[in-house]
Amino acid sequence: MTGTAAIAAPKEFTTFPAPKARHDVKVTVVAEGLDTPWAIAFVPDGRILVTERTGNVRVIKDGKLLPDPIAGLPKIEEHRQGGLLDIALDPDYAQNRYVYLSFMEKAVKGPDAKPRDQDKGYRTVIARFTDDGTAFKDMKVLYRGSLVDSGLHFGSRFAFDKQGHMYFGIGERGSQDRAQDLMDAAGKVFRLNRDGTVPADNPFVGRSDALPEIYTYGNRNPQGLVTQPGSGLIWESEHGPQGGDEINIIRPATNYGWPVITYGKTYGLGRKIGEGTEKAGMAQPELYFVPSLAVAGMAFYEGSTLPFWRGDLIVGLLAGGIARLDVEGDKVVATERLLESELPRTRDVELGPDGRLYALIEAGAPDGKLVRIDRK
């Protein structure tokens, strides 16, 4: 159980566009004035929670951005690609009111230090809070990633499977060989119980040469993670270098190949990386992007307002717009890019409780926006 054999080359995003008639849609601004928004969570009481990478969780209620952020967060600093990142409600939020956040923290010395930690640097933290409606309380740190003196590739999105396990990704922090090191918490997707413990059936449990929390490895920089309705498959979006963005299905113990195989090239030099695009024991992506469109947060659309998109995987693009992936089972059968001008830098997309599709436009204050995508 150490990976999958290389399979036939996947489809490239640019080679099979879908009919344009399927995206007769418009974009409406819901709220603006956000500062580098990163993630969205819809609360049953009608609030929309938005993380700002600069360190706050903002509240949108009745179509208005409230002036005061959620209280109770630790001090979270922004550093390059790090800061306050994803937010997710517990699957049993109605009973326990748990909220999960991922964020960057500076080096912590002492008993929390791991064998490969340095005396300085940054890492991704996964923490759980209790939401009382105005503040997040009772913070419990569930996981700390490897400490690296780099401001790159922190991840990090959440997803939950049908059994309630929590998944999240952490990038290889700009040090590519870490992704292949099973004793290093970088360049991986992880699977934990929601209290932070490791599930007994995780693929590397019991091995002395691997961290038991690892679910997959060889992941360069995970940027999106979502559970497919019905099948329960976990889909991931991942940044590549100068081409080679990927859409993957996350399967236990699978090696996704970075940096040994990739469809990308070295920044600035245009040289190939590693050993090519395929190798036995390393999985191919379901879809790859050349050139890169900077894939980000994503959502399966199961709403009623855009019936022609039902079942499609919608992916935010930091290069502008969204990608609509026509998914049948575990295969991407058609693709298109749309709304490039209306959505200049799309950091996250989520399905709202009203069946509409929402997206975050990432920009510094006051230009960050939450928008809604509707049928014309």
Give the number of other CB atoms < 10 A from CB of residue 354.
12
- Spatial separation of the C-alpha atoms in residues 161 and 249, rounded to whole Å: 13
Rounded (5°) CA angle 310-313-316: 125
Task: Please give the Cα distance from 159 to 88 (Å, whole number).
Answer: 8
Termini Cα distance of the chain:
49
Catalytic residue among 23, 153, 165, 239: 153
Maximum alpha-carbon separation in the chain: 59
153 as an active site residue: the answer is yes
Who contacts 156 (Cβ-Cβ below 8 Å, separation ≥6)? Answer: 85, 86, 102, 124, 126, 168, 169, 170, 222
Measured CA to CA, the distance from residue 194 to residue 160 in angstroms comes to 9
Q: What 3-state class would DSSP assign to 288?
A: strand
The answer to whether 324 and 225 have CB atoms below 8 angstroms apart is no
Give the three-state DSSP class for 307: helix
Bridge-partner residues for 323, per DSSP?
315, 337
CB atoms within 10 A of CB 366: 11
DSSP element (H, E) containing 141: strand 136-144
- Establish whether the linkage from the previous residue to 304 is cis, with ω within 30° of 0: no
What residues act catalytically? 153
